A = this chain, B = another copy of it.
Amino acid sequence: MSLPEGPGAWLLTIGNEVLIGRIVNTNAAWLGRRLTFMGFRVERVVVAPDEPEDVADEVRRALSRPSVKVIITTGGLGPTYDDRTLEAVAMALGVPLELNQEAYRMVKEKYDASGMPMTKEREKLAMMPRGSMPLRNPVGMAPGSLAEVNGRLIFSLPGVPAEMEAMFEQEVEPRIRPLAPKLAVVECSMLVAGVPESSLAPYIERAERSAPGLYVKSHPKGHEARGPIIEMRALASAPNHDEAASKAREALEVVRKAARELGGEASEVSC
């Protein structure tokens, strides 16, 4: 039951601005969706403050779980004094933070192209944990970084969504694809009206248990007693797309049949 099996991934969002609610954590949702559809099992999202000790603790904790194969940090790679993610990764790995020559070239090339000189703050963008590999940022200035620990990968990406997304697609996805199971993941959905979630509950459980690799979830939208509307979603994984789609579809059909017997309405299933 529950989340599809697959290699574990942890997402670590770094930044006080997320903790204080100034920024909604859309990065974690974006990454969670991409990783899930690739066949990874996203086991945690942790938002930590801009304090290297806290971030290092969280990296160590993720590494302490044998299921975790991929860790992605977002945020804290910029030029300001509070951008200390790579210092924290270095701390967690027990290696020094040092100027990475390849990262330095990437950064300098960008500033050169704009006729801007290198400064201490710009050089900071090229400071990386010893032994890590810089990742090209096609949108902004700060390179990302990849550290490997016994075959497990720690990617550090910027927090600006456009930079993070482009780097995930160009630098992360090709490197983690070989770790992902050869599975297709498909999500189907359906709306149910006129049946309280508490009445549908046993059928939702039955639907989820109808096959392995299924995650079935009810999202109540209306009021349980006064006009219940429930969005039903099923996420299924299988060796190919058609098999996954039919598994998800069949799970929702179990719920749809129950909804009708209970006097409610259900929309078509869409995948």
Contact = CB atoms under 8 A, between A and B. Distances in A.
A21 B16 contact: no
Interface string A15-43: 01111111111101111111010000011
Contacts of A26: 24
Nearest to A3: B16
Interface stretch (A146-154, A171-179, A219-227, A239-247): A219-227
Given A46-B44, A114-B226, A225-B111, A160 B28 contact: no
Interface in A75-119: 78-82, 110-111, 113-114, 116, 119
Contacts of A197: 78-80
A59 interface: no
Nearest to A233: B22
A79 B201 contact: yes
Interface stretch (A47-55, A127-135, A263-271): A47-55
Contacts of A202: 121
B17 A21 contact: no
Contacts of A79: 197-198, 201
A205 interface: yes
A7 interface: no
A33 B22 contact: yes
Interface in A181-214: 187, 196-199, 201-202, 204-205, 208
B32 A20 contact: yes
Interface of A: 1-3, 13, 16-26, 28-34, 36, 42-51, 54, 78-82, 110-111, 113-114, 116, 119, 121-122, 125, 140-141, 160, 187, 196-199, 201-202, 204-205, 208, 215, 217-220, 223-226, 233, 235
Given A19-B44, A80-B205, A140-B224, 14 more contacts: A1-B82, A16-B217, A18-B32, A19-B36, A19-B45, A20-B33, A21-B28, A21-B42, A23-B219, A79-B198, A79-B201, A80-B197, A119-B199, A141-B224
